[in-house]
Structure 1
Amino acid sequence: MTGSPTHNLDQNDQDHFRNLSPKSLSYKDSQKEVRLVTLLKKTVPVFTGLVLAALVLWPLLSQKEGSFTLAVDRLEKRDETAKLIKPQYVGIDRYGNPVRIAAESAYRESHGQMDYHLKNLLAELKLKGGENMQVKASSGIFQADAQKMILDGDVKITTDTGYKLTATESAFLINEKLATGDKGVSGTAPFGKFSATRFEVDVDEEIVRLSGNVKMHINPRSPLDLAQPTKEERE
């Protein structure tokens, strides 16, 4: 006996097929969906642009170390170095005070080096008490890793606290505000005038150590705190 097969659907099967059937939307609901799609078309590109901008700018905004801002002028092809026109270094010292070093020009001997040879440099710093300090030189080498400047030619160091130093050569530690040299120095300080062959000046602590042909003119109206010589200086 042959016949047509019969299919008996239970309640779960009926609910499943009912959910698969297309639903009708009211005019009001369809208008809401249209407005939502339109809004997404406008906002998604804007949000994507903001995310991309944040990815590009974040390394710059979060950078804490000093950096150079400069223009590059390539020299003749026979010269392997690049000359930096009006470079400017901006950073902070160990007290969080700003450090700015500008120059007429600069160059590095090789791409991998962090030593910048500067011409007509001007460094503007702050002492730990907030007073201004300037360092000028005809030429010098800025060692970025060591935070040190090797100054040469008409070196001048001045501060708002009354110190003025002139030397032909000097090494200057940026964080320590320490100037040293052995090719002669002359200057003025709150206590008077001085000159010598070798010098070590701690500008932050206002300590001046001189040796070799020392000459001093003390201002009797100014207080003078004479530091005791170290063991090495006595020897």
Structure 2
Amino acid sequence: MVRRGDSYTRLIGWLKLLLPLVALVMLSTLFLLPRGSAPVSTLPVVEGDAPSGAREQIVAPVYIGTTQDGDQLRFTADTVEPLGDEAQQMLANRLDAQLDMADGSSLALRAQEARIDSGAMTADLQGAVRIESSTGYVMDTEHMVSAIDRIGAQTLAPVSGTGPAGRFTAGKLVIASDASTGDVQLLFTGGIKLVYDPQDP
């Protein structure tokens, strides 16, 4: 004779198995049953040419890379849009670049706009270009070309700024990595003028 307690225990055991299965079947039907949504073919489609002035844009893009020497590159912009029909040519508005070197130093670049060539891996920065280094230099120029896959840049217009020694102007600035040590160097050429400002002891 089966006792009532054994039957109750078996019933509870079966319910523990069946109830989750029933719940799973009910959830499955929510995803498998067809819904009464409108077919894709009824979505509004604009035919013909795009409206005048319409442009393709990417908002707040971010490009991050690492050079062979371990330097970290990060480029951001407000917007990026293609130039012409070539996907390799892009125009970035309000570009910001952060270059963190393996030796611990860093450079920050900022420009109103930059024409980026992903084929040549270069960025042509124009309009109120500012360069700031972790070594204390703050420099301004109107035109600069920078690599986007390595540490390398040069100004195509005169540069002026301040540094640890004082205020200066130069015809050209070249940012390059020393081949022997790997250290990043700021090389000024083309009629350098320095107003020495000795620091207080």
Normalized against structure 1, the TM-score is what? 0.54
Does residue 148 of the first structure (1) align with residue 122 of the second (2)?
Answer: yes
Hey, what's the Cα distance between the residues in 2 that align with 1:161 and 1:147?
A: 26
The percent of aligned pairs where both chains have the same amino acid is 23
Pairwise CA distance, 1:93: 2.0
Hey, what's the Cα distance between the residues in 2 that align with 1:202 and 1:192?
A: 22
Give the length in aligned residue pairs.
Answer: 147
Cα distance 1:178–1:193, how it changes in 2: closer, same or farther (>3 A)? Answer: farther
Does residue 216 of the first structure (1) align with residue 161 of the second (2)?
Answer: no
Hey, what's the Cα distance between the residues in 2 that align with 1:220 and 1:80?
A: 55
Contact map agreement 1:121 1:139 (CA 8 A) in 2: yes
Contact map agreement 1:93 1:174 (CA 8 A) in 2: no
- The one-letter amino acid paired with 1:193 is R
RMSD: 2.8
2:18 aligned partner: none
Cα distance 1:134–1:220, how it changes in 2: closer, same or farther (>3 A)? Answer: same
Which has a greater percent of helix? 1
Contact map agreement 1:139 1:153 (CA 8 A) in 2: yes
SS at the partner of 2:104? coil
For residues 1-235 of structure 1, the aligned pairs below 5 Å read 76-78=50-52, 81-202=55-176, 204-212=183-191, 214-219=192-197
Pairwise CA distance, 1:108: 0.9
Higher alpha-carbon deviation: 165-174 or 182-191? 182-191
Hey, what's the Cα distance between the residues in 1 that align with 2:196 and 2:148?
A: 29
Indicate the structure (1 or 2) with the bigger Cα radius of gyration.
Answer: 1
Pairwise CA distance, 1:95: 1.9
Structure 1: segments with no counterpart, 5+ residues: 1-75, 222-235
Normalized against structure 2, the TM-score is what? 0.62
- The one-letter amino acid paired with 2:185 is E
Contact map agreement 2:70 2:101 (CA 8 A) in 1: no
Contact map agreement 1:133 1:160 (CA 8 A) in 2: yes
Structure 2: segments with no counterpart, 5+ residues: 1-49, 178-182
